[in-house]
Structure 1
């Protein structure tokens, strides 16, 4: 049983949708028939390439919106642009994220704020700005968290805390926005290595400590997103751990 008919025109907004996991999620949702608002900030070339690629199959189905999510007013501007262009909003995917180490002894206030602003404040403000539109269509919010929300990564205290806050927000909004909007989260494990990180002993150790003995693929996240959107009408306030079992290992 699906929440939305495949023939029904629906609109999704994905932040950080031009690259990496976000790009794959855009393609997956677009392939299911959804029109997509792709948010980006610095990845302008990648965003326009993605729009060109996908609109070969369906014209006028991608709308690009650029914005710095650290600016508090940007969330309302992004939602307003999406509504002005497509006229509705059915799905919000809070995917955009900042990731870097924050050793307690040398982390600046600006570094602290960047992680909190991007990983927690922006999803909150986007949910706030989009809730009335999502409610009209009995829509959904999916937040991309991290397994480190539960088991913090060493020397990444602020990142881990920001994702823990996002997980808590998922549960809080699921209660507040029910029964009209479902709110869930996806917590990836090792899917893509951080950019510029060569494969070495550290990466192999992570694989060895994963019960399924491999890293995941972007397709694993895309399938989870499609499930939460299309086939989970009675699921809200939950986090799907897409991590090969790492979150259950001591």
Structure 2
């Protein structure tokens, strides 16, 4: 039980990657705090968790929401061992020349607000609890931070910012808090939404037909089995656990071999 006697907060955990990681952490013995901006998602998860857990609606871009979550956590547990950040918004992989200047301006503000500012505020507000427990902060970046065409320019820029933020926060929070990241690639049934700025907030990556998504994945990845959200759980759980005594300021790139792309060979 990797997370026995751990109290772990997962943001953006109402669905998709965050929910899969939360379920994995619970299976590893943690008491989990599941937060999401969507109240309906939180309400629908009540039967999947129990009295040792805490389900809270929270907008990570709002200081008041994060402070309210912190108060609820202190009241129930009086401590916090790890924070896992899993919230994010995609940009539809749209080239910047395919949108208006106004849309680009709005898209930048929306994605950096959620994908970057949300992590900064979360880190700032929960740092004192994590210091008290000699705990861990684990953030989600992406393979888009390492190679082109993992998203559009704005999404890629946010994920690159998170990758750098992991290193800076590890430096600032040492030695009390270990700060690391995970850079996932494909996720089966991904619930990552598009941005409001481009009127794509009602679309999810999982809306892509399953066969088409699988065919695309298999054409560019060395590993051929499409992972689901829980398949990434072990990476997050280890980095969040007290058993991690050797890593800080690092990002685990979980790319299914995607970054070892064929250059001279047509197929493998």
2:250 alignment partner, one of 229, 233, 238? 238
1:142 aligns with 2:138: yes
1:221 alignment partner, one of 229, 232, 257? 232
1:210 aligns with 2:221: yes
Aligned with 2:259: secondary structure? helix
Pairwise mapping of residues 165-176 of structure 1 onto structure 2 (< 5 A)? 165-176=161-172
Q: CA deviation at 1:169?
A: 0.5
Partner of 1:164: 160
Please identify runs of 4+ aligned residues in structure 1 that moved more than 6 A: none
- TM score, norm. by length of structure 1: 0.87
Q: CA deviation at 1:141?
A: 0.5
1:24 aligns with 2:20: yes
Give 5+ residue unaligned stretches, structure 2.
191-204, 264-268
Q: CA deviation at 1:72?
A: 4.5
1:103 aligns with 2:79: no
CA contact under 8 A between 1:69 and 1:117: conserved in structure 2? no
1:199 alignment partner, one of 193, 207, 210? 210
RCO comparison, higher one (Cα < 8 Å, 6+): 2
1:80 aligns with 2:76: no
Q: CA deviation at 1:201?
A: 4.9
Partner of 2:47: 52
- Corresponding pairs, count: 241
Give 5+ residue unaligned stretches, structure 1.
none
Offset from partner CA, 1:129-165 (integer Å, 9 cap, x none): 1111101111001101110012132761111100110
Partner of 2:175: 179
Partner of 2:196: none
Q: CA deviation at 1:111?
A: 2.1
CA contact under 8 A between 2:90 and 2:151: conserved in structure 1? no
Q: CA RMSD in A?
A: 2.2
Partner of 2:259: 247
